[in-house]
Structure 1
Amino acid sequence: MKLGYVGVGSMGGALATRLCSSHQVDVFDLSATAVAKLEAEGAKGLPSARDVGAANDIVFICLQTSDQVRKAIFGENGIAAGMKPGGMIVDQTTGDAFQTRAMAAELEAMGIDLIDVPVSGGPQYAIAGTIALMAGGSDAQFARIKPVLETISPNIFHCGPVGSGHVMKVTNNLLAASQRLLTFEVVALAVKNGLNPKTVVEAMLKGSGRNYVLDVTFQRHILPGKLHQGFTLGLMHKDVKLATKLAADSEVPLLIGGLVDEYYGAIINDLGADAEVNMALRYIEDAAGAHVCPEGASADPDA
C-alpha cells in the first residue's frame, strides 16, 4: 500500500510525520520549506498533487478549507487527475460536511473513494500519537483505512457515513471555541475580584467547571506566560462559522453558537485574524480591567 500526503503545514506535517514512522510517504505542499521538513523525516517530495495521486493508492490531504480541498483534488494538477480507479483520498481538513459529500459523489463516479478523517488535539498530540481521529465513510472504507490510521493514533472514532467526521469535528470545535472564551471571561472575573489566577485554575480543575482550557491552555500556556498554542483566531473563527453554517443547513437553532461567532468576529476586528488564538485573553483582560497573564507573557513561538 503506497501513501501520499498533500498539505504538510503545521497539522498536516505532524500527521504525515506519524505516517513516515512506518510507511514510505510521498508529499506535496506549496511551501518548499514544509516539504523539506518532511523529507528530513524520510518522505519523498513530488512536484504536484497530481504526481502524488498518480504514485499512490491512498492520498491524505490537510488544508484550511473545503474550497482548497476541492481545488487540490479536482484542479488541473490535482490529485484526481493522477489517481487511478480504486484509489482513496483521506480528507483531514476541518471542512464542510455538505461539500465533502458532494466531492465524494463526484469521485465515486471516477472510481475513487473519499473518506473524511479530521483530527482534534493539535500538532503536539499528533506528534505524540494520541490525537483523536474522527472518520466519516462506509464500513468498507473505514475497514480499509483503519490500519493506516492506527499508525497515527489509537484514538479512532468511526462516526458514520462520509461527512460524519466533519460533523463531529466542527461540533467539537464549536464547543472548544465557546469554552475558551467563557473560561477566559470567568478567570478574568475572578482575578478582577482579587483572586490569584493560579489559584482560580487549580480550584476549578477540582470543581464542576473543569475543561480543556483550564487543564491545557492555562496550565501549559497562559500561567507560564507562553501564549503561543499554534492556532490563530482566524482559523478558530473559521471552525465556528462551519458549525453555525452546519446548523443553518440542518435547520437547528444555535443561539449560543451564534453569539460565539459574533464574539470571535469582534476580537478579530480588534486584534486581526492572524493573531494567536490565546491573544483573545488580552482582549478580555482589557475589557475587564484585570491582568490574568503574567507580566512579560508573549505569543511569540520562540519566546
Structure 2
Amino acid sequence: MTHAANSSALERDYPTESVHIIEPFGLGGGPDLLARALAPRLSELWGQPVRVQNSPGAGATAGPAQVANAPPDGYTLLINTSAQAYSAAFLKNLPYDPLKDFIPVAPLTSQPYVLVAGRPAGITTVRELIAAAKAKPGELKFGSTGPGTGTHLGVVKLNLIAGMKAVDVPPQPTDAIADIIARTIEGHTTYVMAPISITLPQIRAGNLLPLAVTTARRSTLLPEVPTLAETGIVGFDFPIWYGMWVRAGTATGVVDKLSEDIGCVLAMPDLRGWITKHGGEAMVMTQPEFARFVQSESEGAVGLIKSAWG
C-alpha cells in the first residue's frame, strides 16, 4: 500500500484515539464552557474520549503556543476567541504565528460583549463614562485580558470612536477574565468589556452595572440593556466569536472531517438550545469561508491599530 493510501485510510478513520481541546482563558470562561458543551457530543459521534484542557497564562497565548508545538495530526485542537485573529496584529514577540502556524477549522458561535462599570465608579450610562473620561484624560483605567484579545480590541475601538483616553490594566497571568472582572468590581479599574455569560452573576448581584452591549442587536440575556449604537456610538458592532483551529500541517482530510463533524454537532437541537441559553448564535461557514473570515478579522485589527496609534 502506498504512503498516500495509508494517509487516506488514517484520515478516513480519524479519530482512533482521544482528542484534546486546549482552552486558553481558564475555567468558567466562554471558550471553556463551549468546549465542555462540545466535547461530550463529539466524543459520542467519534466513539473516542474528547478532553478539555485549560491552559491559561501569558495573556491567553500559552494555550495556542501549546497547540503550535503539538504534532500536526488533529488530536490537539485549539478553541479560541476572535483573539486568535487579532493577536497577529498586536503581538510581534509571540512564539508562534497566529495565522501561519494554525489552520482555521470551524467557526462556533458569536455573541455580544457587555460594557460594564464597577459599582464604585458611580457610572451608570455610556454618556457618563465618556464624560468622566474626557474630564480626566488618561486617568480612567479599563481592564482587558491582554493586548490583541477581543476585550482589549473592543475597548480600543470604543475609546477611539468616543474620543476617550484611558489606561489599559493588564490582568494577572493565572485567570485573566476572572481577574479583570474582580478588579472592576473592587474599583481598581473603571470599566471593562466582557462576555455576558461571565458577567451576568455580578450584574444581577449589583456589583457590575451594564452600560451597553456591543452588537447591532440587543442580547436576549440582557434585553433591557441598550446597544452601543443606541447610546450614540453610531454603527458600533463588535461581537466576540469563537472558533476551532489545528496546527498547520494537519492533513486536509482530517481538517475536512473535523469541520464537517463540528458543524453536525453545532446543528444538534440540544446544543443550539444551549448556545441560545448562553446568549449566542451558531455561526455557519465552510472551512474555506472561515479561513477567509479569520484573515479578514486580522486585517481589520491592523486597520484599527493604525487608526488608534498611527
Common topology (TM > 0.5): no
| Bigger strand share | 2
| Higher helix fraction (1 or 2) | 1
Larger RCO, structure (CA 8 Å, separation 6 or more): 2
Length-normalised TM-score, structure 2: 0.29
TM-score norm. by structure 1 comes to: 0.30
